């Protein structure tokens, strides 16, 4: 029987949780995906369920048990290193875990999913947007990540919000016509009509009611419309998004290094990335863009580090390669 302690890295997000079981040598022994894992957005009980489901799947692949894990690193947004973590620890203990539970920032896990360098940057632009500078293996500079109400410039939410405004202004005749409007109407089950209410088109009244009737963050679901469209309004929205993300990075940029990119907004080639690089200008020359799909590898890297191992390029390469067999 293999008695080497297990290490577990968790990339616990607001939508899903990924668990990677490894050893100190960086061999991926199991991988699992569970439900929402952030207690801030999902609530403690539901978040713990998502985390435990992901761990159970990963352990099933490894043929080992949670009692054999010496370290669990949970990478997630909004969790401090100190605080009441009983919502997760208590559930882990009931499954036999008696090791160290460590919380890390989700963006640090994103960074270590693509780089082992002690200095560099991570940019995540999915539903939200945030940039961090990593120095000596820890975050020492942060830009944005301030949420949909006052921040997240250039994010999927920001793009979706801009699309909704553009459609409303088109229908209200206060902005340019855009083919985005038909996409927005279709998304909400509406279409253009000749009917008018209170001096406005019926579809405008209905669209506004639907937009206000849903949580604001759901506007991020409109973002793909801009990438699928090629009219001037869509291009302008994507260009401005890229410029915002470049400005956020510039706020923490102090020198050349790897730039690990998470989220789909900048990861894909096209107008956002083009505008992002153009806005950075010569500062982009010292950056090596490294897109990653999520923070699972980085969470495992942090688990190796927490166990006293060397989270270096060798471990990163081994984790990335061995994880591929479980994806």
The whole-angstrom separation of Cα 28 and Cα 48 is 23
In 63-155, where does DSSP find H-type helix?
86-94, 106-114
User: Which sign does the torsion angle of CA 273, 275, 276, 278 carry?
Assistant: positive
Specify whether the backbone of 96 is left (phi greater than 0), alpha (psi in -120 to 50) or beta.
left
Tell me, yes or no, whether 104 lies in a domain: no
Is 290 in contact with 261 (CB distance < 8 Å)?
yes
- Residue 221 sits in which domain range? 117-292
Tell me, yes or no, whether 112 lies in a domain: no
State yes or no: pLDDT of 152 exceeds 80. Answer: yes
Q: Please tell me whether residues 279 and 196 are part of one structural domain.
A: yes
Q: What is the mean pLDDT of residues 112-139?
A: 95
Q: Give the total number of structural domains in the chain.
A: 2
pLDDT tens digits for range 185-236: 999 999 888 788 777 889 999 999 999 999 998 999 999 999 998 899 999 9
Q: Please tell me the least confidently modeled range out of 32-41, 46-55, 173-182.
A: 32-41
What mean pLDDT value characterizes the chain?
92
**pTM across the whole model:** 0.90
Residue 41, exposed/middle/buried by CB under 10 A (0-12, 13-18, 19+)? Answer: middle
Tell me, yes or no, whether 107 lies in a domain: no
Q: Please tell me the least confidently modeled range out of 34-38, 157-161, 176-180, 192-196.
A: 192-196
State yes or no: pLDDT of 151 exceeds 50. Answer: yes
Q: Please tell me whether residues 285 and 249 are part of one structural domain.
A: yes
Q: Give backbone dihedrals phi and psi of 100, rounded to 5 degrees, phi first.
A: -90, 130
Give the CATH number for residue 31. 3.30.420.40
pLDDT tens digits for range 248-276: 999 999 999 999 999 889 988 899 999 99
pLDDT tens digits for range 58-84: 999 888 999 999 999 999 987 665 467
Proportion of the chain above pLDDT 70, given as a percent: 98
Q: Please tell me whether residues 59 and 186 are part of one structural domain.
A: no
Q: Checking DSSP bridges between strand 69-76 and strand 28-34, what pairing results, if any?
A: unpaired
Q: Please tell me whether residues 319 and 274 are part of one structural domain.
A: no
Q: Please tell me whether residues 277 and 204 are part of one structural domain.
A: yes
Q: Give backbone dihedrals phi and psi of 230, rounded to 5 degrees, phi first.
A: -130, 15
Q: Please tell me whether residues 85 and 204 are part of one structural domain.
A: no
Tell me, yes or no, whether 1 lies in a domain: no
Q: What is the mean pLDDT of residues 23-45?
A: 90
Select from 1, 18, 5 the least CA-distant residue to 309: 5
Tell me, yes or no, whether 232 lies in a domain: yes
Q: Please tell me whether residues 75 and 141 are part of one structural domain.
A: no
Q: Please tell me whether residues 152 and 178 are part of one structural domain.
A: yes
Q: Please tell me whether residues 88 and 132 are part of one structural domain.
A: no
Tell me, yes or no, whether 37 lies in a domain: yes
Question: Would you place residue 1 in the very low, low, confident or very high pLDDT band (cuts 50, 70, 90)?
Answer: very low
Full DSSP string of 202-247: HHHHHHHHHHHTS-GGGGGGGTHHHHH--SHHHHHHHHHHHHHHHH
Within 10 angstroms of residue 289's Cβ, the number of other Cβ atoms is: 17
Q: Please tell me whether residues 149 and 226 are part of one structural domain.
A: yes
Q: Please tell me whether residues 185 and 197 are part of one structural domain.
A: yes
The whole-angstrom separation of Cα 157 and Cα 237 is 12
Tell me, yes or no, whether 135 lies in a domain: yes
């Amino acid at each position: 029987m293999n008695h080497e302690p297990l290490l577990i890295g968790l990339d616990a997000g607001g939508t899903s949780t990924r668990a990677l079981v490894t050893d100190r040598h960086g061999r991926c022994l199991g991988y699992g995906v569970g439900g929402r894992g952030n207690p801030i957005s999902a609530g403690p009980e539901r978040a713990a369920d998502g985390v435990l489901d992901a761990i159970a799947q990963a352990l099933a692949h490894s043929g080992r048990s949670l009692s054999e894990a010496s370290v669990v690193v949970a990478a997630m947004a909004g969790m401090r290193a100190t605080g009441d973590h009983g919502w997760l620890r208590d559930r882990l203990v009931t499954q036999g875990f008696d090791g160290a539970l460590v919380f890390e920032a989700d963006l640090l896990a994103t960074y270590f999913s693509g780089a082992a360098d002690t200095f560099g940057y991570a940019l995540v632009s999915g539903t939200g947007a945030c940039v961090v500078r990593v120095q000596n293996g820890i975050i020492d500079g942060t830009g944005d990540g301030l949420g949909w109400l006052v921040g997240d410039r250039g994010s999927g939410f920001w793009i979706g919000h801009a699309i909704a405004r553009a459609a409303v202004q088109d229908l209200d005749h206060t902005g340019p016509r855009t083919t985005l409007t038909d996409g927005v109407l279709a998304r909400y089950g509406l279409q253009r009509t000749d009917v008018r209410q209170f001096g406005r088109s019926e579809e405008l009244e209905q669209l506004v009611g639907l937009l206000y009737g849903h949580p604001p963050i759901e506007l991020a679901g409109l973002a793909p419309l801009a990438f699928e469209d090629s009219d001037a309004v869509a291009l302008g929205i994507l260009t401005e998004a890229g410029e915002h993300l470049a400005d956020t990075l510039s706020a923490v940029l102090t020198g050349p290094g790897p730039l690990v990119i998470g989220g789909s907004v900048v990861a894909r080639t096209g107008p956002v990335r083009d505008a992002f690089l153009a806005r950075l200008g010569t500062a982009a020359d010292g950056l090596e863009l490294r897109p990653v799909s999520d923070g699972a590898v980085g969470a495992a890297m942090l688990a190796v580090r927490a166990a006293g191992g060397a989270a270096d390029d060798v471990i990163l390469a081994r984790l990335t390669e061995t994880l591929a067999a479980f994806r």
